[in-house]
Amino acid sequence: MGKASTIAVVAPGRALDASLVPLVQARAEAAGAELIVHPQCFADDGHFAGSDAERLDALRRVMADERVDAVWFARGGYGAGRIAEAAMADLPEAARGKAYMGYSDAGFLLAALHKVGCAVVHGPMPQDAAREGGEEALDRALAWLMRRDEATLEPGLSPGLPAMAFNLTVLSDLVGTPMAPTLTGVDLLIEDVGEYLYATDRALLHVTGQEEVRGVARLRHGRFSDVPENDVPFGQGLDDMVKSWCELSGIRHGGSADIGHDAANKIVPFGPRTA
């Protein structure tokens, strides 16, 4: 995965807030990057930044563009999974030399791209400019894309141990699909946002019940933020919940991880492909 100088932004799910673009462009310029924001990022088709066909076409175009060194997914939300499998068909040769960065819903594409041999990175996205501390998140992402600054990395990553990071809900949805990641021997990091504790518990039941997941080197949990209040107390906190499912599943619990739906979200490059 070479260092980037030209970065394309595309929105595989929801639209990018156009008011954020001047700040994103300014931070990219300060980092020495040429930023190309695809017009599709501002398309409108209900929940999505354009129809499935429009979003797929925009993604395929930037993947095939030989001028582009890295593809930066604009934001999360929902929609990437609807086009991820199709995006991998007859992959353009130019697509294989690029880095791809995003998190949350973009995890569908990170998994699919990694599975076909592309270099992918779990990290901040342009929409994070709207968050408190958003400039720092943008600078962190650009520092990795432009110069592979190791200070941006999630601090618990271990040399020689391949890592992957996913939103837990997305990972649960990936299981059983052709895009499901190969996790054997991986340092698996998870995070989530806006989910009831019972929904997180249910997702952990599903994910840790998979033989593939039970083969991870360890599982670490990041921040689970904006948790709605249950109608009755759930009776178990997030830390204990994750530890409990790890113990029941024979998975090594590796503690916490510095990732989440916030401006402090650190960089996790996916390790060598294992399938």
* pLDDT score recorded for residue 94: 97
* Domains observed in the chain: 6-152 (3.40.50.10740), 163-256 (3.50.30.60)
Residue 275 in this model has a pLDDT that exceeds 80: no
**Interval 53-80 mean pLDDT:** 98
* Residues forming beta bridges with residue 253, ordered by sequence position: 219
User: Quick one: tokens of 184?
Assistant: 């054997």
Percentage, residues of the chain above pLDDT 70: 98
Do 195 and 226 meet the contact criterion of CB atoms below 8 Å apart? Answer: no
Q: In what order do the strands lie in the sheet with 187-193?
A: 163-167, 187-193, 218-225, 253-256
Residue 31 in this model has a pLDDT that exceeds 50: yes
Question: Is the sign of the CA dihedral 206, 210, 214, 217 positive or negative?
Answer: negative
* pLDDT score recorded for residue 64: 98
Question: Is the sign of the CA dihedral 25, 28, 32, 36 positive or negative?
Answer: negative
Residue 252 in this model has a pLDDT that exceeds 90: yes
Question: Higher confidence at residue 271 or residue 81?
Answer: 81
Question: Residue 39: CB partners within 8 Å, gap ≥ 6?
Answer: none
Residue 272 in this model has a pLDDT that exceeds 70: no
Q: How, if at all, do strands 218-225 and 187-193 pair?
A: parallel
Task: Kindly indicate the confidence band of residue 2, based on its pLDDT and cuts at 50, 70 and 90.
Answer: low
Query: What's the pTM?
Result: 0.96
Q: Residue 227, by phi and psi: left (phi above 0), alpha (psi -120 to 50) or beta?
A: beta
